[in-house]
Structures are given as C-alpha cells and as structure tokens.
Amino acid sequence: MGVDTTGMPSKAHELMRIAVVGVGGVGGYFGARLAQSGHDVTFIARGAHLDALRRDGLRLESPKGDVELSVDATDDATSVGPVDAVLVAVKTWQLSDAFDVIRPMLGPETAVLPLLNGVEAPGALAAALGAGHALGGLCRIVSHLDGPGRIKHIGVEPFVCFGELDNAPTDRVETLREAFGRAPGLDVGVTADVVAAMWQKFLFIAPTSGVGAAAHVPFGVMRETRQTRDLIERAMRETLQVGKASGVNLSDELIPAALDLLDAAPAGGTTSMQRDIEQGRPSELDAQTGAVVRIGERLGIATPVNDVLYRVLLPREQRARGALEF
C-alpha cells in the first residue's frame, strides 16, 4: 500500500482491490497512481523486478510528480484471490500467457481492463475468460521500465479511457472511473463508444510504429520528411477503411486529428514497437501492422502500404523470436 497519501480518497468513496498484470511503463505508472490514492493494489511481477518491488517498493519518476511507494507484489496470483479489477498491461504477444495469471483473481463481477496497443485484446480476453469480464480500454503515455522497481514517465499527459464492450453503463465501470479520476497525475476520458476510441488510437499508433521502424527515424523526422509523412497518412487511411469495414463508427476527420497528434509528439520520440524492433526484442508487429493486414484480408480491404511495412519488418521480428538467423 502506498505510503504517500497525496490524493487519498475520503471514506465516502469506495476503495477498490486491483491487480496489475504487466508492471512495465504502463502498468507500473497507472498502478502506482491508484495505489498512491489509497486503493489496495497488488502488482504481479517476477524476477529482479519482483525482488526490487518487495525490497525497495515502486519508484516512479514523472513530470506529474515523483513518488516512492511501499507496494504489495507477488508472482503468485492465486495468493491474491478475487479482485474488483485487473489492469492488463503486458505486451500484446504476451497476452495469451496472462490468461492463466488472471483467472485466479476473477470474481463474478471482476472487470478486466486491457491497456494494450491494438484492437484485438478485448476479444481475446472475452474468449478466454468469459465475455462478462472484459472491458474495452486504451491509454496514452510515454513511459518505460527504468530498471527493477523503477518506472520513468517521460512524456504525454497520462490518459486512460474504458467502458463495457457494448457501451452499456454499469456500476463497475463507474466505480473504476471514479477510482482513476481521484488518482493524481492522470486524466480519465469518457466515451460513448469504447471500441471506436480504441480504433482512433490504433489509427495513430499502428502507422507511426510501422513507418518509424521501417525508416528507423523518430517522430520529428517522420513528420518533417515529405515521403515518410505521406506514407504514414496512406497507412492511416488504410487502417481507417479496415475499421469502417469492421463495423466501427469512424469518421474521416480522424485522419487530420491523428496527423495533428503526430505533429505534437516529442520530436525525438518513438513508439514502443519501434524501440523493440530496433533493439532486437520481440515486438507488437503482429498486433499492429499485422492486424491491419490480417483484418483487411478477412474483410476484402486492400492494405498495400501496411502490407509492405509488415513484410519489410517481419524478418527482424522472426529473428527476435529465434525463428530466423542472420
């Protein structure tokens, strides 16, 4: 439990039991802020990260305020028991391994909130854990694990948005929204259509990840170089058409809005997928660029730019996973 009482809710407000699966830049940040505001947060971790959390607590460095917290951390989810909500912040390619971790922490009304890139995680969670548990969700933040037990937030106003997949108002969503709303250092969005909100983020993150990784350049170069900016816009338009064909309510105005977001991004910044590919680690290529191509093929929507980006990046992804040597 956090020792810093900044933002501590009054007794009139419900405290929640929350588990965080994936204590990296995203899960570590949002979990820390919830713990800081008094909620009972357990971090599921392993290895040196778990050792540091148990020994030294969680240290968060952020422009929104640094904090050091004594936290509950374990590698045994069965010892946690049912919780009110599970925040899932693993990489998309680790999601299937997280199912067995999550199951022992489910009660009848437990909300499972995915804060992953891509648009396929809620469906995968619903299929594995039951449709009654999965929410739709997204976040915006630039942060990373800065060593065992240490999270560093370096840019973008931390933001989280979520809801039931059928957009129905429920007590559990409202309770979770209030919990985030009273936590310091973040904003909570309200949306009438959480799936559309997820696709809106996807429209930005998948094209910039693909082009950035293929060109090996940061946001500033991508947006200032005419050829790469044009490539990003074309990839965005393909992604938009795939989303529309999937039945998601998306407006053409999302393209200029996504380009505005690119223009506002830190000039030296890159996406996590790009950083993983550049550093030879397994990445979210399949869940981002690959998903645009895969869903497009299923629906009969041509995605030539995303297809080329996927094919160009695939050998490096296969090498990172040990399937190819060069």
Q: Same domain, yes or no, for 170 and 208?
A: no
Domain around 236? 196-320
pLDDT > 70? residue 6 = no
Q: Same domain, yes or no, for 223 and 185?
A: no
Q: Same domain, yes or no, for 237 and 311?
A: yes
Mean pLDDT of the chain: 94
CATH of the domain at 313: 1.10.1040.10
pLDDT in tens, 108-129: 999 999 999 999 999 999 999 9
The predicted pLDDT at position 10 comes to: 41
Q: Same domain, yes or no, for 37 and 169?
A: yes
CATH of the domain at 61: 3.40.50.720
Instruction: Look at residues 177, 182, 142 and name the one whose alpha carbon lies nearest to residue 160.
Output: 177
Domain closes at, from 192, 213, 231: 192
pLDDT category at 269 given cuts 50, 70, 90 is: confident
Residue 12 lies in a domain: no
For range 208-234, the mean pLDDT: 98
In percent, the amount of the chain with pLDDT more than 90 equals 92
pLDDT in tens, 297-312: 999 999 999 999 999 9
pLDDT category at 13 given cuts 50, 70, 90 is: low
For range 8-35, the mean pLDDT: 85
Q: Same domain, yes or no, for 159 and 205?
A: no
pLDDT category at 267 given cuts 50, 70, 90 is: very high
